[in-house]
Amino acid sequence: MTVTDPSTTTGLRHRFPGLRGDWARLDGPGGTQIVDTAVEAMTRYLTSGDNANTEGMFAAADATDEVVARGRAAMGELFGTDPRGVVFGPNTTSLVIDLAQTVAAGLGPGDEIVCTRLDHDANVAPWLRIAARTGATVRLADVDTDTGRLPTENVTRLLSDRTRWVAVTGASNALGSIPDVAAVAGAAHAAGARVLVDAVHLTPHRPVDRTALGADVLVSSAYKWYGPHLGVLCADPDLLDALDPDRVRPAPQVAPDRWQTGTPSFEAIAAATEAARFVLDHARAVDETAVFAPLLDGLLAMPHVRVHGPHDHTDRTPTVAFTVAGHRADDVARHLARQRIATWSGIFYAHEVMHALGLHEDGAVRAGLSCYTSTEDVDRLLRAVDALA
């Protein structure tokens, strides 16, 4: 079902216990509120007596096995991926660091990794670090700074038979732009490289299908899509078996478990299972553009505001970065907070693109829609920014 009346997007607000009070929460790209069914699943697990480790000889351990199996099945559905290749970890950054360190064992001088300046640093810095260690080279694809977009050819022109991995984002957490990942992945595979897609910012807004995107590995974080603080890595189980991550000797030797160091947060897995269900069944059905268009258009119409990144609605998420003439980004965010409007200011760990845009010192303000954002929230933001003229 697609919701067409913007006012009805508030129809999901009652599902978020954290939305009590009159705060306008436009901070979703930094982390959303958690949906009621996810909160309940976490509480249920923690209070049920099932709290135990996996693979035991008693009922609670069996129940915990079931929590993990259900979690992997839900991620399989959310990300179009084989549940046998689903790895849970603390967050996306840790999972990418682990993957890069594991991949490093097979890299040396002459090997190349292609990253992009559109990416969050979680999908750049780990590759820079292993390149420094192994003698491999990282080549960085440039963003078009006028549009805030990543042209496919800026990535494909860096590919060669030396390319081993291509690391690309599904959507920019700073600017909202969505690159053509499937085209990048197709070209990367034709060059013989593997592809890692950071789907953290894309997941709450668009269907994400690992296989259709052509991602060998895909990562995401449940706290960006109405769930708990938990990272998810999805890959072909054969690839996870072929790589050799650091682990302790008694740990499982087969994927995906051999990638999960130590004991995962079972309560977070239980909650993320429900968050995935909510994204699939409800969140993505909201017509975000109906709420976002007045926000983007309103900011673009203000002479004292500069919007960074795409100025249109094609291939973007409902996330916008902007600066206000004569005001530092942190001060704008503080001004908004005094009116109970939550936004983020800074560079959002989008290190490369914010440098490329010359925004690395004062940063920008970022406002992003979640499925619970109302047109009233947007009006309040616009009125408060307008008052800074």
Ligand X SMILES: Cc1ncc(COP(=O)(O)O)c(C=O)c1O
Q: Which residues bind ligand X (CB under 6 A)?
A: 91-93, 120, 122, 169, 173, 198, 200-201, 221, 231, 349
The residue count of the chain comes to: 389
Q: How far is the CB of 121 from ligand X (least distance, A)?
A: 8
Q: How far is the CB of 342 from ligand X (least distance, A)?
A: 15
CB nearer to ligand X: give 63 or 272. 272
**In 3D, which of 168, 166, 165 has the Cα closest to residue 150?**
168
Rounded distance, CA 81 to CA 349, Å? 28
Q: Are 324 and 332 in contact (CB under 8 A)?
A: yes
CB nearer to ligand X: give 221 or 345. 221
CB nearer to ligand X: give 178 or 384. 178
Q: How far is the CB of 347 from ligand X (least distance, A)?
A: 11
CB nearer to ligand X: give 95 or 382. 95
Q: Are 41 and 67 in contact (CB under 8 A)?
A: no
Burial class (CB in 10 A: 0-12, 13-18, 19+), 170: buried
Q: How far is the CB of 292 from ligand X (least distance, A)?
A: 18
Q: How far is the CB of 246 from ligand X (least distance, A)?
A: 19
Q: Are 100 and 253 in contact (CB under 8 A)?
A: no
Q: Are 321 and 175 in contact (CB under 8 A)?
A: yes
Rounded distance, CA 116 to CA 151, Å? 10
Rounded distance, CA 323 to CA 326, Å? 9
**Residues whose CB falls within 8 Å of the CB of residue 371, separated by 6 or more in sequence, listed in order:** 9, 12, 204, 226, 282, 283, 284, 286, 288
Rounded distance, CA 168 to CA 187, Å? 13
Amino acid at 296: L
Assigned token pair, 247:
């682990």
Q: Are 65 and 72 in contact (CB under 8 A)?
A: no
Rounded distance, CA 7 to CA 14, Å? 14
Q: How far is the CB of 91 from ligand X (least distance, A)?
A: 3
Q: How far is the CB of 128 from ligand X (least distance, A)?
A: 15
